[in-house]
Amino acid sequence: MSAFPVFDPASSLARPITQLTSITFWLGLGVFLLVAGLLSWFMWRYRHRGAGGEPAQIFGNTRDEVGWILGAVALVGVLLFLTVRVAGQSSPDTAGPNPDVYVTAHQWYWAFRTPGGAETAGELHIPAGRRVLLDLTSADVIHDFSVPQLARKIDVIPGQHNRLWIEAAKAGTYAGECNEFCGPQHAWMRFRVIADDAASLAGAGPDSPAPTLVAGSAAAHGAQVFREVQCSACHAVQGQTSDFPHDGAVGPDLTHFASRQLMAGGVLTNTPANVQRWLKHTQQVKPGARMPTLPLSDQEINDLSAYLEALK
Ligand code: CUA
């Protein structure tokens, strides 16, 4: 992943924005150097040298004033023209086609769902070299979807469906984050976009089989705990929790959880030790998260993490 994503565009949708940023920066720097240079020059050239009385007092100069007003208007006009052009290039028409992925923002994680019903969280898989149309809405407050290398950013608003094209020219992993302050864990509302050469959209397909759990194993016991302590009241695992209808509005879908790189909105890398830490100290790891710290025994935590890490 890029250290300076804003300056490292990886798509034809993001490149014009980076170019506009550079043009604006260099133009601004030019204006600054001109003004600061002239100011310094005048301060030195017309400094008080101890002789003579008060200098000539000048009020206004029509030629100079018209000059700098027109100059400033011309500069702003050029920037306006470039900005409108870039806005068109980075936001192609979204009216026609059906969305490829439905994105729902939650405090504080991102859910991604395909029209076929596959759902995942925190990680969006897209095919490289193809534009993907997103439909974005929020389950609670206003968020903002931003993957600087792949597209413009866009507000994600409850009750409204915004649309956005994203594209990765090459295979790779691209950092995404929420860009609108949305509560105490706003900074931990991150996600990754993973572009591969033959990725299925979002995550795995909707009917990819759920793993078979060996009877009597820690994972099988974990599955039982998952139902009994009602993890499944908030989290769906497709193929495993169909008896607990999931309204998709509470916690992240955990189908194929084990195949994800990060968890809990990017606050932890996905390892068995971190899953256990999360289950044990949820509210310390991510204060304010909707998930309470559950009264689980060490054995239950161990088995739950075995179960979750079996969901490949
Ligand atoms: Cu969601 Cu900030």
Q: How many angstroms separate the alpha carbon of residue 141 from the centre of ligand 1?
A: 8
Report how far residue 120's alpha carbon sits from residue 111's, in angstroms, rounded to the nearest whole number.
6
Report how far residue 255's alpha carbon sits from residue 201's, in angstroms, rounded to the nearest whole number.
15
Q: How many angstroms separate the alpha carbon of residue 180 from the centre of ligand 1?
A: 5
What ipTM was estimated for this complex? Answer: 0.98
Residue 207 lies in a domain: no
Give the pairing of strands 190-196 and 172-178: antiparallel
Domain that includes residue 229, residue range: 218-308
Q: How many angstroms separate the alpha carbon of residue 110 from the centre of ligand 1?
A: 9
Residue 22 lies in a domain: yes
SS3 call for 123:
strand
Residue 239 lies in a domain: yes
Residue 25 lies in a domain: yes
Q: Which atom of ligand 1 is nearest to the CA of 142?
A: 1
Q: How many CA atoms lie within 13 A of 128 on its CB side?
A: 12
pLDDT of residue 75: 94
Q: 275 near 263, Cβ under 8 Å?
A: yes
Q: 274 near 267, Cβ under 8 Å?
A: no
Q: What are phi and psi of 265, to 5 degrees?
A: 70, 25
Angular region, 122: left φ>0, alpha ψ -120 to 50, beta rest = left
Q: How many angstroms separate the alpha carbon of residue 121 from the centre of ligand 1?
A: 15
Report how far residue 110's alpha carbon sits from residue 145's, in angstroms, rounded to the nearest whole number.
9
| Gap between the terminal Cα atoms of the chain | 24
The residue with tokens 């059906």 is 98
Q: How many angstroms separate the alpha carbon of residue 198 from the centre of ligand 1?
A: 30
Hey, CA dihedral for 106, 109, 113, 119, is it positive or negative?
negative
pLDDT of residue 243: 47
Q: Helix-strand-coil percent breakdown of the chain, rounded to 5?
A: 35, 20, 45
Q: Which class for 59: exposed (0-12), middle (13-18), buried (19 or more C-beta within 10 A)? A: exposed
Residue 133 lies in a domain: no
pLDDT of residue 29: 97
Q: Which atom of ligand 1 is nearest to the CA of 108?
A: 1
Q: Which residue CA neighbors atom 1 of ligand 1 most closely?
A: 143
Q: 180 near 143, Cβ under 8 Å?
A: yes
pLDDT of residue 185: 92
Report the 10 Å Cβ neighbour count for 4.
8
- 264's tokens: 């809990």
pLDDT of residue 152: 94
pLDDT of residue 251: 85
Report how far residue 95's alpha carbon sits from residue 97's, in angstroms, rounded to the nearest whole number.
6
pLDDT of residue 259: 84
Q: Rg of the chain's alpha carbons, rounded to an integer?
A: 27
What lines the ligand 1 site, CB under 6 Å? Answer: 105, 108, 143, 178, 180-182, 186, 189
Q: Which class for 160: exposed (0-12), middle (13-18), buried (19 or more C-beta within 10 A)? A: exposed
pLDDT of residue 175: 93
pLDDT block averages, 10 residues each, the chain of length 312: 84 94 95 96 88 81 94 95 93 87 92 84 89 93 96 95 94 94 93 80 53 79 83 80 55 85 88 90 88 87 88 84
Number of domain units in the chain: 2
Q: 279 near 301, Cβ under 8 Å?
A: yes
Residue 198 lies in a domain: no
Residue 51 lies in a domain: no
Q: Read off the CATH number of the domain in which 294 is found.
A: 2.60.40.420
Residue 165 lies in a domain: no
Report how far residue 198's alpha carbon sits from residue 192's, in angstroms, rounded to the nearest whole number.
17
CA 55 to chain centroid: 59
